[in-house]
Chains A and B, each alone.
Chain A
Amino acid sequence: MTNFTRREFLKMSAQMAALAALGLSTLNSTVAEAEEVADGLTWQKAPCRFCGTGCGVMVGVKKGRVVAVQGDRENPVNRGLLCAKGYHVGAALYGADRLKRPMLRKGGKLQPVSWDLAINTIADKIVEDPTRFAIYGSGQWTIPEGFTAMKFLKGGLGSNHIDPNARLCMASAVVGFIKTFGVDEPSGCYDDLDSCDTVICWGNNWAEMHPILYSRFIDRKNKFEKVTMVDMATRRTRTTEAADHYIEFRPQSDLAIANGICYLLLKNKTYDAKFVAERARFKSNDGKDITLDQYFEFLKDYTPEKVSKISNVPVGQIKMLADIFADPKRKVVSLWCMGMNQHTRGTWINNLVYNVHLLAGKIGKPGSTPFSLTGQPSACGTCREVGTLAHALPGGRVVKNEGHRKEAEELWNLKPGTINPKPGFHTVKMFKALASGDITGMWVQVTNPGQSMPNLNLTLQKANDRFFVVSEIYPTATTKYADVVLPSSTWVEKNGLFGNTERRTQQWFKMIEPPGEARDDVWQMLAVARKLYEKGFEGMKNKDGEFLFTMRDEKGKEIHHWKWDVYKKHNIDKILFEEYRPFTTKKHKDIAPYDVYVENRGLRWPVVQNGNGQWKETKRRFVEGEDPFVEKGDGISFYMAKAGDKKAIIWARPYEAPPEVPDEQYPFWLCTGRVLEHWHTGTMTGRVKELKNAMPHAFVDIHPADAENLGVYNGDRVRIKSRRGSITLPVSVNGRSVPQKGLVFVPFFDEAKLINQVTLEAYCPLSKEPDYKKCAVLIEKV
């Protein structure tokens, strides 16, 4: 052993990790682990910092720095594998321009100041106009961070102007779930990808956006299992390369296609009549109860021929889709993400895909489920479950409901009547209010609206004139607007809990110190809250006149957590999580005590204690034997149905054209999105040299025939112009993706090329989620 060099041991560790991921281990595994300990390298679990898949990462720390990562083979999500982003997640902490000191804008320039001054400045500004102060966060907030922000604003400032960037991401999925099932979040789980025989991607490029889940399915294909993938999309992507069928449809016509499938299921009487009779009922688009016959009448506008005309999809492909769902033996998973959610009828298309699965009886069975994917690590855990939304309260409650407000006031020990019954501004309205002056101050945490908001020239136009606080780890397009910049800890520099796409709550411990003077986002908000309390701000007092965020240690002694040195000595996350837990039982989203999550790789809610005192997770909701809230004998039960009849709703949702379509002046569709190498606005992945080198700048994908008509070739520069703005980009023909004729695709990761100056802020009227996938543009060679 002693003849080995340190690097040889590292190589052995690398080899052992790969063998372990294949389910093999040898004596050398133990040797390698022992050597790592001797070398000062320690490993701890954490969920990945990037997308909503929630892969487990083992984080290697040495001398206070993250020096290695490996896929966590004990985590059932990724079973030891990493994607390109996860592989580099450790490096994302060490960009050269990491923010290390609080800064205040003086004379137009951000200058370093003390934490005391920064916190005091924020508190003074809030006191000036508390009910017009907004918080804008994200699905990258940990669960305790989102919970703190909610209590701060809804319990402390008496307003509801809090919303997350998840409004731009999965709000349509949320409202879709609630409208159909009476409660949010997927009932299926990743295990369904192991047992399905067909995956249908509804405008979802999972090969690049959720590569670990994709590889979980493709691995089965590679082993010659009889599995089929259908890629329905408006452009060819890496997903298309592995698909058995590619169905290209006109933007927005997914509404018509879904209805077309339903029409054929009913016309051919190939729907699951027993399941539908027992588990579903029908509603018209305006919410009136209708019969199956009336629903079929509505569907007569969606014959294959009519749908083909709207969508440009051949009749044969529409029939093929219907046949897939008609086959009672077939196990089908539908996947979607931004393609369906960022849609001016995002709620409707979510409802329509549920219609298809409900009619076919393909839900609640292993391998058969509609499954909406999320883009951020805790969009589900924080935004949807804690409910960091303008209309919501934790645990599925809403501010409009008096009973819900009372419950929240009791759990937070607030004076009765503290919580404002009027919903706050949702994201697009919040930024329009910022422009109009109805919002005078805003605190942005863990997100980058200066790059990600649609129609930036409108939505950020007055941001410089308002009081803007930004908690961040790197300079971004948003810190440019900031009056105060607070340097934040991130990922394993702090304790945390995330909730992923399949309802899995995962915990991790702080492993390293944040750089310089950076501090946790939770601490930042607690410190401002305390400062407000010290200034006599009534909202920061609870019913007993104590500080709103009073916390005590196990001996009952008050913790002065607003002092950073004190905060660091306690696990404040645990205290906040335990305060949050009682909120989760109302909608049967029960979670276990904090310490249970320390011991495992996450649990899928509802998590309840069995007779032996063990905490048991739920693989599939609404399924007898799996979900503890399904009554015996019910089989599959949609027990959260608003009507109390345990039935899901099949909605008669029509096709509706988008608000802006190409015309003579602006003849192309513009679709925006992400690429494999970069995560969202690229603030972290852009600091990882390999990822930056692999994809340094934005581009515009153009169909070869359109490129020929425009007289442009790869690398030529074109201006992309809409009614709102324009940018210039290099052309890519037959590159990463090949759009349909008449459509161009531009990724939004590049801060130097803000495509959101061009996009439209139109949104789904039900979910308020903007449509980044379609607006009309002109392409000009420059």
Chain B
Amino acid sequence: MPISSLIIKTQKQEIQKVADELRRLKGTIVSDVLDENIVVVTETEDRKEDKSLWDQMEKISGVMQVDLIYHNFEDAEENQEAKIQEAEIK
């Protein structure tokens, strides 16, 4: 279950509208709304969902840029696999 943070850049006059849209996305916490920046923390089931969330954020009207900041994948599925598979080359 990855935990990530992102900064969403938008125009000042649209910031509340964008923040409201972001709050509707499952797994998203809007933690700070500051001038033209919105800090978002996400908690998702897996890294696929994590990636899908920021794709959705990019599509919200008024979002000018999504900056990726922090990504903890300690509990993601890859790290559950304690042992890396032996390589097989044919």
**Interface, chain A (partner B; CB < 8 A):** 7, 10-11, 13-15, 17-19, 21-22, 24, 41, 60, 62, 65, 67-71, 80-84, 86-88, 90-91, 94, 96-101, 103, 109-110, 215, 218-219, 222-223, 474-475, 479-480, 485, 487, 515-516, 689-690, 693-694
Contacts and interface: CB of A to CB of B under 8 A. Distances in A.
A97 B79 CA distance: 14
Contacts of A11: 3, 29, 41, 43
B84 A100 contact: yes
A87 B47 contact: no
B31 interface: yes
State the main secondary structure of chain A at its contact with B: mixed
Contacts of B41: 11, 14-15, 18
Nearest to B3: A10
Interface residues on B, range: 35 or more
Interface of B: 1, 3-7, 9, 11, 29, 31-32, 34, 36-37, 39-41, 43, 47-48, 50-51, 55, 64-65, 67-74, 76, 78-79, 81, 84-90
Nearest to A17: B70
Contact of B39 (A22, A62, A87, A109): A22
Given A82-B67, A87-B4, A515-B84, 6 more contacts: A18-B69, A67-B72, A67-B74, A80-B69, A91-B73, A475-B89
Contacts of B64: 218, 222
Contacts of A474: 87
A109 B90 contact: yes
A19 to B, nearest CB: 6
Nearest to B54: A84
A14 B69 contact: yes
B56 to A, nearest CB: 13
A221 to B, nearest CB: 9
Contacts of B1: 7
Given A18-B7, A100-B87, A479-B89, A84 B68 contact: yes
A15 B32 CA distance: 9
B70 A13 contact: yes
A17 B69 contact: yes
16 contacts: A14-B4, A14-B72, A15-B41, A18-B39, A18-B40, A21-B67, A60-B72, A84-B68, A91-B47, A97-B85, A219-B9, A479-B89, A480-B89, A516-B84, A690-B50, A694-B51
Contacts of B50: 690
Query: Which of B11, B67, B84: most chain A Cβ within 10 A?
Result: B67
B69 A21 contact: yes
B89 to A, nearest CB: 5
Contact of A68 (B48, B68, B70, B81): B70
Contacts of B71: 68-70, 82, 87-88, 90
Nearest to B76: A91
Contacts of B84: 94, 96, 98, 100, 515-516
A109 B71 CA distance: 39
B7 A21 contact: yes
